Copies of this chain bind each other. A is one copy, B any other.
């Protein structure tokens, strides 16, 4: 599929008139033919937007990415309105399958039969199964993590992943065969660059890194429980309390994972 077909596909997929008048892309970075031909990023009410937008900033615009959910109705995620461009029913087989994380909305996705059966079915033909943050718990609820090494947000990694049959790994990006999982939220950028290197080579991943000026310089070193220290980690875990209780219940009830 060349760029023209891709643009045509977008126009057909979108019923709203604005999609027929796309903003021209000033910057086109050609990928080698080893790049995937298609990707489905699941998106859902209450997802944490950066989980999806981080990898999308690296991977987006270079091959067709379907933004998929049960319906194409707009929904709210952290106060931002997102609109899927394809339903589960309309989504074809894809090379790469991706699920972002979140909190309450993620639990709803873990319990949604339509979502789980979509993942189960498309996973059979996908070359890569991927997630960022608590998105791995949705893959787990779909029965896709059994016996596999995976990561998730630090707050649920060691407690919830094993309940879904996975072997938790405390790394930023974990690759186990065709399963690629990223740690919490911002790890999606490291995850996206790792995937791009796999798809298109290190040089292309480096160009994408330069494109998004990813030369991180956090003002503090509090991005991990170890860096933040016990007091701050304890306070944040306290704020997570109700979510942690509910996600544990959802993991125990995930029948596909057992």
Does A205 count as interface, using CB distance less than 8 angstroms?
Answer: yes
* Min CB–CB distance A66 → chain B (angstroms): 10
Contact with B along A1-39 (1 / 0, CB 8 A): 000000000100010101100111111110000000000
- Is A185 touching B213 in the complex (CB atoms < 8 A)? yes
Of A22, A81, A82, most buried by chain B (CB within 10 Å of CB) is A81
* Min CB–CB distance A65 → chain B (angstroms): 6
* Min CB–CB distance A136 → chain B (angstroms): 13
- Is B183 touching A213 in the complex (CB atoms < 8 A)? yes
Does A88 count as interface, using CB distance less than 8 angstroms?
Answer: no
Does A172 count as interface, using CB distance less than 8 angstroms?
Answer: yes
What are 10 A-B pairs with beta-carbon distances under 8 A? A25-B104, A26-B246, A28-B239, A153-B213, A172-B217, A193-B219, A194-B219, A202-B220, A207-B222, A209-B222
Contacts of A48 in B (CB 8 A): 57
Contacts of A26 in B (CB 8 A): 103-104, 107, 240, 242-243, 246
Report the separation of the CA atoms of residues A49 and B64 in the bound assembly, to the nearest whole angstrom: 17
Does A45 count as interface, using CB distance less than 8 angstroms?
Answer: yes
Does A148 count as interface, using CB distance less than 8 angstroms?
Answer: no
Contacts of A177 in B (CB 8 A): none
Contacts of A232 in B (CB 8 A): 203, 206-207, 210
Report the separation of the CA atoms of residues A73 and B19 in the bound assembly, to the nearest whole angstrom: 11
Contact with B along A37-65 (1 / 0, CB 8 A): 00000000110111001101100110001
User: A interface vs B, CB < 8 Å?
Assistant: 10, 14, 16, 18-19, 22-29, 45-46, 48-50, 53-54, 56-57, 60-61, 65, 67, 73-83, 85, 103-105, 107-108, 133, 153-154, 172-173, 183-187, 189-190, 193-194, 197, 202-203, 205-207, 209-225, 227-228, 232-233, 235-236, 239-240, 242-243, 246
Contacts of A27 in B (CB 8 A): 103, 239-240, 243
Report the separation of the CA atoms of residues A60 and B77 in the bound assembly, to the nearest whole angstrom: 10
* Min CB–CB distance A46 → chain B (angstroms): 4
Question: Are A75 and B185 CB-contacts (below 8 A) given A29-B239, A206-B222?
Answer: no
Sort A-B residue pairs by CB-CB distance and give the 6 closest, nearest first.
A184-B213, A215-B223, A23-B46, A206-B222, A26-B243, A216-B216
